[in-house]
Amino acid sequence: MRFLYKEIPKLCMVILIFSFLAPVQNASATVGVSAHSAILMDEESGRVIYEVNAHEKNRIASITKIMTAILAIESGEMDETVTISGNAFGTEGSSLYLKEGEKIKLEDLVYGLMLRSGNDAAVAISEKVGGSLDGFIWMMNQKAEEIGMKNSHFTNPHGLDNTKNHYSTAYDMALLTRYAMKNETYAKIAGTKVHRATNSTEDWDYVWKNKNRLLTQLYEYCTGGKTGYTKLAKRTLVSTATKNNHNLIAVTLNGPDDWNDHINMYEAAFKNYSLTKILPEGAIKDIKNTTYKGHVYFKNDFSYPLSKDERELIKVKMKFLKPESKWKDKRNIPEVVGKAYVYFNGKQVGSRSIFYGEALESFNQQSFKSSWASLFESVLGIERNG
């Protein structure tokens, strides 16, 4: 059930009100980067905490392979065997040194793609998953459109400078990474430090060590990412980091000091922002309406990264269906009876459906009053055609 205004003619409203006095803090006030383009994004909410030239189109080099990896993973063919073609074998640049005719699992190719940035692996993956290089490129651009990467265009699966019109932005690559990190297999591969793969043509195995030094050496909170470099794109880097259950994504394009850029962005955000639970999972207390009191809950909580002062910029509106006479028989009450909308500084940043029934005992039985300001309830009494 979608809760658009047109579809809810009978509502009662609960509004959580705050004063809008506190200034908005931004990590950009405390961070400087070497990169021409950069962004720091909260993984859960998508909030942009820091940005510079984040929507400017640029060459992206091998961070392209994040798209190649997620398409391979989503193909459902990770256990299948790939025969390396002559086209893949001859790919220039960073390589796994695969041999023509060699047989290797698609899963191992994805590990080699992400850890060692194998361009030969990228072509082999594209031919397997897309049926052809052109077919795979079409898939890349379709996925980019699906994710909302409005300023991106892909013309190859590896990011080499040998094709025109291959570009993206720091913001779009953060969107892609946010999407990919929801996939457990991708998150596992991107966060792997060393991978061993069977070599079908030799009596020794491949052993690939991750090139992402943030993950392997430099930053204890790093959980994954992808490096990149070409002569035209310069250094590009995507990384992810987690501290105190707060997950962040950093992207830099043309960043000569990218390792430190990422560390500095992360440290500023972890210091100044905390992931704040606004809508707690479980029973919604402080509801006065007799139909809903003690019977409504959230299945999932909603959290948002906030600085200390920004808590006063949060506003929550909850809209409920107006109870009907037939609801005297509780079997007629719909499962979803309303929706909560979260606003930050006047802009909607999230929402959660409100469910009718008994919240599971494992849910956190938390009152809004324990976390936020006083709750006010009013019944609008709008008629069905009103």
Catalytic positions are: 62, 65, 117
User: Which of 321, 290, 292, 311 is CA-nearest to residue 384?
Assistant: 321
Decide: helix, strand or coil at residue 217: helix
Strand order in the sheet with 48-52: 48-52, 37-42, 246-253, 234-243, 222-230
Q: How far apart are CA 291 and CA 295, in angstroms?
A: 8
Which DSSP string do the residues of 40-92 spell out, in sequence order?
A: EEETTT--EEEEESTT--B--GGGGHHHHHHHHHHTT-TTSEEEPPHHHHT--
Other C-beta atoms lying within 10 Å of the C-beta of residue 1: 11
Q: How far apart are CA 256 and CA 263, in angstroms?
A: 14
Q: How far apart are CA 207 and CA 197, in angstroms?
A: 6
Amino acid at 207: V
Q: How far apart are CA 76 and CA 107, in angstroms?
A: 10
Tell the residue number behind the tokens 């200390």, with chain if given.
308
User: Which of 87, 39, 97 is CA-nearest to residue 63?
Assistant: 39
Tokens describing residue 300: 């999932």
Per-residue burial over 59-85, b if 16 or more Cβ lie within 10 Å, else e, is bbbbbbbbbbbbbbbbeebbeeebebb
